[in-house]
Amino acid sequence: MTKLDVLSIDFEFSHPKDAFVSCLEGSDINNSSPVFDPGHIVFPGLPRLLSGHTDVHLREGIIRAFADNTPNSESAFFTADLSQVYAQHARWVKNLPDVEPFFAIKSNPDPYVLRLLAGLGTGFDCASHNEIRQVLDLGVDPSRIIFANPCKPTSIIRFAAMESVNVMTFDNADELVKIARSHPKAKLVIRILTDDSKSLYRLGLKFGVPVSAVPTLLMKAQELKLDVVGVSFHVGSGCMDSNVFGDAIGRAKQAFVMGSALGYEFTILDVGGGFEDAEFEKMAAVLREAIDVHFPERKNIRVIAEPGRFFVTRAFTLAVNIIARRVVRTDGNDEETPQVMYYINDGVYGSFNSVLFERETVHPYVVTLNGSFPSSSSLAREPLVPSSVWGPTCDSTDYVCPLVKLPLGLKVGDWLGFRGMGAYTLCTTTQFNGFEPSQVVYYTSGIEGSMEASATRRVLAGMMKRESRGIMATYSAS
């Protein structure tokens, strides 16, 4: 194990991309230049886009914190590998080539993520004025937005009408009345109820009309002279059972038949979100088969989806600092009771919101041990003890990990990492007890010239040029 040396860094690095470590050796930690940056991509008001491997950026961030004596210098921070977002988009296109993704902004409205996906031509699932505004400000055409909130404030419906955001969802008669008054030219998509019992977040508890009630709502829309153009559903966020997509497509087909009986010709099938990363290929296969079975003739039907966490989860890693430590027992006999309590500088009122509200389980890994960056071999030799991990606030419910095995050698000042932190983390952060949201380091991974990294940078460079032209046009007009 190598001790952390501020000016000359010698990492025991086990990752295949060891080459990136040399970028840090002998570097000046006070120099703000990136670790390894083959292209200059920077948007006004945003951090510069760097290059390099995740572990390098984690370590450089920790080294900077170690050398900085200012308040909050050891604050938690994210690393965001945007080439992972690009890779997920490519994975989507490969497995669901006939399904247009409309990114669910609520999962992560990060400005770099939105720019990358806009440049890739995705659509956007928006639920509020601010989300619609964010997308339109990037130059995205309103036709690439679905206002997928079945229960909308009247003022925001009027705003959507002014901005020509026409496609929107509904699931009740009162919503139709509001839309008829505020956006009579809207293109409406009826949200039906499906089985979401196998998902982390059960949206059906709040939204969706039973298929049996679809004709009643469609007749109400006819009465109000509104144009219903399609059917949508959502199997719940973080769906764990791919078979529910097949059932949901079957219900959507019933709604299409009901619409046809009333004279409607639906042209949109919105299959919603819920695409779990680990099960994606299986889910995609079930979805393709179900669409082929229930919609064999779909020449005039546009199939769209609203993936969120699928695109962003794996791209973000969170580094947290152990700010306090308490040994609560010394016997080693009970494996079900924590022996050590660790307090970190992010918690359920910050990036771990899902732990509190959805009882989601997160898994920390060791980044530094006793002030050093350990190799995998040295880490494997460390004795593990039952531990618990707590957030920084004064609330006793700020409980990140109730029971986890961690090395006994972890000390105050050491760092833990959490992978897969890209969805419903930054966007759900509060400032309870005065704790600030974690900052983000943006980069593309892989060696220079790798496909994902190069393609990601090309897309963002194109967006940067587009934005600069817009700024210059505004300046000239003024």
CA distance linking residue 81 with residue 445, whole number of Å: 6
Q: Judging by beta carbons within 10 Å of its beta carbon (0-12, 13-18, 19+), is residue 388 exposed, middle or buried?
A: buried
**pLDDT at residue 245 in the model:** 83
**pLDDT at residue 433 in the model:** 72
Pairing assessment for the beta strands 199-201 and 237-239 based on DSSP bridges: antiparallel
**pLDDT at residue 71 in the model:** 76
- The active-site residue, picked from 126, 394, 401, 427, is 394
Give 6's pLDDT tier (boundaries 50, 70, 90): very low
Phi and psi, residue 103, nearest 5°: -60, 130
What's the token pair of residue 218? 């469609």
Lowest-pLDDT range of 78-82, 133-137, 224-228, 346-350: 346-350
**pLDDT at residue 22 in the model:** 31
**pLDDT at residue 37 in the model:** 40
- What is the mean predicted confidence (pLDDT) over 391-413? 92
What's the token pair of residue 154? 């009247």
**pLDDT at residue 70 in the model:** 75
CA distance linking residue 446 with residue 19, whole number of Å: 10
Q: 370 or 39: whose pLDDT is higher?
A: 370
**pLDDT at residue 15 in the model:** 31
CA distance linking residue 306 with residue 353, whole number of Å: 22
**pLDDT at residue 423 in the model:** 92
| Sequence-ordered alpha helix ranges (H) in 46-109 | 54-67, 82-95
Lowest-pLDDT range of 108-122, 244-258, 377-391, 419-433: 419-433
Q: 161 or 25: whose pLDDT is higher?
A: 161
- What is the mean predicted confidence (pLDDT) over 363-383? 92
Domains of the chain: 7-26+53-80+315-444 (2.40.37.10), 83-312 (3.20.20.10)
CA distance linking residue 268 with residue 47, whole number of Å: 38
Phi and psi, residue 305, nearest 5°: -145, 165
3-state secondary structure of 114: helix
Give 329's pLDDT tier (boundaries 50, 70, 90): confident
Q: Judging by beta carbons within 10 Å of its beta carbon (0-12, 13-18, 19+), is residue 176 exposed, middle or buried?
A: buried
Q: How many CB atoms lie within 10 A of CB 330?
A: 7
Lowest-pLDDT range of 111-120, 122-131, 260-269, 370-379: 370-379
Helix (H) or strand (E) holding 187: strand 187-191
**pLDDT at residue 331 in the model:** 67
**pLDDT at residue 474 in the model:** 42
**pLDDT at residue 207 in the model:** 76
- What is the mean predicted confidence (pLDDT) over 208-233? 96
pLDDT at 9 over 90: no
Average pLDDT value for the chain: 85
- Residues near 231 by beta carbon (within 8 Å), at least 6 away in sequence: 189, 190, 192, 252, 255, 256, 259, 266, 268, 269, 270
* Most confidently modeled range among 4-13, 38-47, 136-145, 456-465: 136-145
CB 221 within 8 A of CB 261: no
% of the chain beyond a pLDDT of 70:
83
239 flagged as catalytic = no
Give 202's pLDDT tier (boundaries 50, 70, 90): low
- What is the mean predicted confidence (pLDDT) over 294-321? 95
What's the token pair of residue 420? 């897969």
CB 133 within 8 A of CB 165: no
Note the pLDDT tens digit of each residue in 21-62.
Answer: 333 333 333 333 334 344 678 898 999 999 988 999 999 999
- Residues near 141 by beta carbon (within 8 Å), at least 6 away in sequence: none
* DSSP-derived secondary structure for 251-320: HHHHHHHHHHHTT----EEE------GGGHHHHHHHHHHHHHHH-S--TT-EEEE---HHHHGGGEEEEE
What's the token pair of residue 245? 């997509």
**pLDDT at residue 205 in the model:** 61
**pLDDT at residue 293 in the model:** 93
| First-to-final CA distance of the chain | 60
CB 202 within 8 A of CB 223: no
pLDDT at 220 over 70: yes
- What is the mean predicted confidence (pLDDT) over 186-194? 95
